[in-house]
Amino acid sequence: MTTTEPTVSLDQPTVVEAPKVQQSGVPREGIKPKRASVLEVWRSMPLTVKFSTVWLILVFGGAIYAKVDTTIFDGALPLQDPNAQTNGFSAATGEFGDGEPLEKPSADHWLGTDAIARDTFSRIVHGGWVSLIVASVAAGFGVIFGGFLGALVGFVRGRTEAVIMSAIDVILAFPALILLLAMVSIFRVRDLLIISLVIGFLSIPAYTRVARATSLAISQREFVLAARAIGTKPGTILRREVIPNVLPVVLSYAMVAAAFVIVVEGSLSFLGLSVQLPTSTWGNMINLARADIKVDVMQAVYPSLALVITVLSLNQVGDWFQKRASHRASAL
C-alpha cells in the first residue's frame, strides 16, 4: 500500500491516510475519501436492502412514468386511465363500458377494479406520485433549511443557538399530526404543492436537531480547531469543514424521515384532508376500499401493501445509509 489514493473498503469504515500538509491554505484534499461508485455501493448492500432499492425504483419510476403518460402523452402510453370508470359511458364508442365495480384481478385489470369500477393497478401506480412529491419536498426542505440551521447553531453556539433551538422546541412541543391538521385546515384549496409545503415546513425541526447534534460533535474535532488556529474565517470553516461532514448524516436521515412523511401523507389522505379527489393516493384508495371490506377486502389490501412495502423499503435503505454515514463520521 504505497499508493497515495486511499482505497475504499465497503464493509468497513473508510480508512483515510493522514492529510498531506500543503504549502498554503487549509489541508483538506487528503481528507476526502474516494467516492464509491454506484456499482460498488450496490455490491455492498445486504440482500434486504437490495430488494428495497429495487422496489423503490419500481414504485417511484412507475409514478414518474404515469405522470409523463398523463401530462405529456395524454394517456397514450400503455397504462390505463386511473380515473376512467370502466362501466361508464364512452363518447368514443357510443356505448357503456363492460367493466364492473369491485372486479377480481384479470388480464384487463391486473388488480381488479375499485368501488366505482376504476382500474386499481393504474391508480396504485399513479398514487405513488403524491407520495414521491411529498417525500421529496419534505426531504428538500429538511436538508436545506433544517440541515443548514442545525449545522449553523451547532457550530456558532451561544445566543443564536438558544433562540433557534427554543423556537424548534416549541414546534416540537406540538403533537405533529395535530399541528399538521391545524395548518392544513387553514388552506381552502388542497393541492399537492400546498400539502407538500406544509409537511416540508413541519419537517424542518427534526432535521435541525439531527444536524445540530452532528455539528456539535464535528465542531469539537481537531481539524476544525486546526482551521481556527490558522485563522480561517468562521464562515469558511462552516462551509468547508462542518457542513460537508454534517451533510451525509442529514441525507441518510432524510430517507428514514421520508418514510415517516409518506405515512403522514397517507394518514391525511385517509382522513380526506390531502389532495383533492379524484387524484389517487394510496391513503384515499384505502379509505375508499374500507367501505367494502365485507365484499372484497383485497381492494384494501393492494394499496395498503404498496404503502407498507414502500415505507419498509425506505426504512431499510435509510437505516443502511445511516450506518454507513456514522461509520464514515467515526473514521474521520
Q: What angle do CA 149, 153, 157 make, to 5 degrees?
A: 170
Q: Which of 293/331 has CB closer to other proteins?
A: 293
Minimum distance from residue 53 beta carbon to other proteins (Å): 16
Residue 219: count other Cβ atoms within 10 Å of its Cβ. 21
Minimum distance from residue 5 beta carbon to other proteins (Å): 36
Instruction: List, in sequence order, every residue forming a beta bridge with 119; answer none if it has no partner.
Output: 113
Minimum distance from residue 280 beta carbon to other proteins (Å): 17
Burial 292-312 (b: 16+ CB within 10 A, else e): beeebebbbebbbebbebbbe
Minimum distance from residue 169 beta carbon to other proteins (Å): 7
Taking the alpha carbons at both ends of the chain, their separation in whole angstroms is 20
Cis ω before 78 (30° cut-off from 0): no
In this chain, which of 293, 323, 327, 331 binds other proteins, going by CB under 8 A?
293
In this chain, which of 316, 318, 320, 324 binds other proteins, going by CB under 8 A?
316
Residue 20 sits in the site that holds other proteins (CB under 8 A): no
Residue 169 sits in the site that holds other proteins (CB under 8 A): yes
Residue 31 sits in the site that holds other proteins (CB under 8 A): no
Residue 263 sits in the site that holds other proteins (CB under 8 A): yes
Enumerate residues 6+ apart whose C-beta is below 8 A from 301.
none
Residue 59 sits in the site that holds other proteins (CB under 8 A): no
Residue 308 sits in the site that holds other proteins (CB under 8 A): yes
Residue with cell 387553514: 186
Q: Where are the alpha helices (DSSP H) in 173-297?
A: 176-184, 192-219, 222-229, 234-237, 243-270, 282-289
Q: Which residues bind other proteins (CB under 8 A)?
A: 166, 169-171, 173-183, 185-188, 259, 263, 266-267, 270-273, 283, 286, 290, 293-294, 297, 300, 304, 307-309, 311-312, 315-316
